[in-house]
Amino acid sequence: MTQASRSGPSFDLSNLEMLFAGHAPRLAHMRDASSFAADLAACSFMPMEQSELLVRSALLHDLGYAPSLRRYGFHPLDGALFLESQDEHPWVIEGVLRHSGADRRASLLPEVAEQYAMRPVAVGAAWLVRAVTMADWRAAGIGGRVSFGQRLRDIVDRNPDNPGKVRRAEAMVAEVRGWFLDWVKTTNRARPLPWVFCDVDHTLICPGDPLSAGNRTSIKAYVAAGGRFSLASGKHPKSVASLSRDLGLESAQVAANGTCVFKGGVITVLAHLGDAAMSLVARLKALGLPVALYREQGIEACCNWEDCLDELFVRYGEIRAERKRGSGPVLKILCVAHSADQELERDLRRLAVSLEVEVCRSDTRFMEFLPTAGTKGHAVRFVTQHEDWPVLHTLALGDTENDAAMFAQCGGCAAVANATGQALLGADWVIPECAADGVGRVLDVVRQGGGWGGLALSLQVEGL
């Protein structure tokens, strides 16, 4: 990666708010692309000057969408032309001009193609263009970190009447995902095995069954080979701790859907519901729903709780909910609300929005309310930062909506074949179902293939 010299003063980033006044979602997308670019640079152990160029390029990649900068109606060119007028760094201009295959699309527009012909490809900047493109495709169109699959689904949902755009997006996702795998494989040779964050119920273990011998053997072999493996569960930390001890895991584990982590017997609370908890309880109680409150020390059966739910918790390997008031902040709230009742689900999602908390479905029977900074994705970032591990050198394994934030945060993600439709669409790969030891089989593939290279070669289709 050779370095181009800076040509002089550059665009003042403080002007972005003014340029995108009234277009906050676009600016949010640009900022989240820049955030991903920073993670990509860290994953690559990139020198500071190159990292700064990449992060800046990703932030400015959609600058040409600013209404006042429109000249040709082709945003990569419009943004690049403006940056040229601002004496921006030539490689930043190159990243904006050519990101996401812009030069290929430009060839179909005569006036635009003429402008591109006047601007030859910058020598040595191809890596930056690819990196900006990867960042573009890991930020949702209206902002937010997403997986490649989630980004594609975002485009499909926003363009129901544009099948051509959807086809181009499908091709682009496949291409850019390949670039990412090559990138992370090449830059992490010293420790090739990604850190795996794995959901438990319906992913690692079929509820009601013990951990299979196959999955147990594969996890132990992965860790023995130098890999790191963390459970990432919605269960209470006491329940997750029992399984973690059984597997002999020494790395940090994620519990209560990301509101806390624990390591070496110490629980660290990352976020809690605060004052919103009691407002939620009152509304859920009025709806007649069974409710359980998760606190650091245990689970409180709050209202409308029946004995049969205790049996269900036991089947899922969860500690029992106690019939007495607990102490300490509420980490999350679980309510029993079957997915078949779509009207109720819509009401619960609206309730979450009104109280500014997160909500997700963790099972066909359960919906859970979480603090906005208390998802599995937040927990993955916390754990990797504290272990000085690149957050993109990670692989998430899951099956449902409560794994979506983890899919978005990790470098790669795979869903078991029995996963929900949403999880399957958001995943990079589909692996065998939980009952067929999909987790163990993918761990074996990654370990035997030397890390990301094994994923790239072996996970093209379900079944490995």
Whether residue 146 lies inside any domain: the answer is no
**The domain containing residue 361 runs over which residues?**
276-370
pLDDT of residue 3: 53
pLDDT at 70 over 80: yes
Q: Which band of pLDDT confidence, cut at 50, 70 and 90, is reported for residue 207?
A: very high
Whether 385 and 351 map to the same domain: the answer is no
Triad 105, 109, 110: Cα angle to 5°: 135
Q: Which residues of 197-230 are buried (b: 16+ CB within 10 A; e: fewer)?
A: bbbbbbbbbeeeeebbeebbebbeebbeeebbbb
pLDDT at 1 over 60: no
Domain boundary among 137, 155, 177: 137
310-363 pLDDT, tens digit each:
999 999 999 999 999 989 999 999 999 999 999 999 999 999 999 999 999 999
243-278 pLDDT, tens digit each:
999 999 999 999 999 999 999 989 999 999 999 999
**C-alpha–C-alpha distance, residues 182 and 443, integer Å:** 19
pLDDT of residue 461: 41
Mean pLDDT within 136-156: 95
**Count of beta carbons in the 10 Å neighbourhood of residue 78:** 21
Whether residue 382 lies inside any domain: the answer is yes
pLDDT of residue 314: 92
**C-alpha–C-alpha distance, residues 218 and 197, integer Å:** 14
212-230 pLDDT, tens digit each:
999 999 999 999 999 999 9
203 Ramachandran zone, left/alpha/beta (phi>0; psi -120 to 50): alpha
| Percent above pLDDT 90 for the chain | 91
Whether residue 178 lies inside any domain: the answer is no
User: Which backbone phi and psi does 369 adopt, to 5 degrees?
Assistant: -105, 130
Q: Looking at the DSSP assignment, which residues form a beta bridge with residue 292?
A: 301, 334
Domain boundary among 122, 137, 152: 137
Q: Which band of pLDDT confidence, cut at 50, 70 and 90, is reported for residue 122?
A: very high
Whether 262 and 228 map to the same domain: the answer is yes
Residue 254 in 3-state DSSP?
strand
User: Which backbone phi and psi does 256 adopt, to 5 degrees?
Assistant: 50, 40
pLDDT of residue 189: 84
Whether 314 and 355 map to the same domain: the answer is yes
Q: Which band of pLDDT confidence, cut at 50, 70 and 90, is reported for residue 409?
A: very high
Mean pLDDT within 432-461: 87
pTM to 2 decimal places: 0.94
Higher-confidence position of 173 and 461: 173
Looking at residue 326, its amino acid is: G
Whether 258 and 306 map to the same domain: the answer is no
Helix (H), strand (E) at residue 412: strand 412-416
Are 232 and 270 a contacting pair, CB within 8 Å?
A: no
pLDDT at 7 over 60: no
Whether residue 3 lies inside any domain: the answer is no
Q: How far apart are the first and last CA of the chain?
A: 35
pLDDT of residue 455: 83
Count of the separate structural domains present in the chain: 3
Mean pLDDT within 410-419: 98
**C-alpha–C-alpha distance, residues 438 and 416, integer Å:** 6
Beta strands in 232-346 (DSSP E): 253-255, 260-263, 266-269, 291-295, 298-303, 321-322, 332-336
73-114 pLDDT, tens digit each:
999 999 999 999 999 999 999 999 999 999 999 999 999 999
Whether 383 and 359 map to the same domain: the answer is no
Whether 361 and 310 map to the same domain: the answer is yes
Beta strand pairing status for 321-322 and 298-303?
parallel
Whether residue 186 lies inside any domain: the answer is no
Report the CATH number that the domain containing residue 230 is assigned in CATH: 3.40.50.1000
On the 0-12 / 13-18 / 19+ scale of CB atoms within 10 A, 319 is middle
Whether 264 and 332 map to the same domain: the answer is no
Whether residue 149 lies inside any domain: the answer is no
Whether 300 and 366 map to the same domain: the answer is yes
**C-alpha–C-alpha distance, residues 201 and 141, integer Å:** 31
Query: Average per-residue pLDDT in the chain?
Result: 94
pLDDT of residue 464: 58
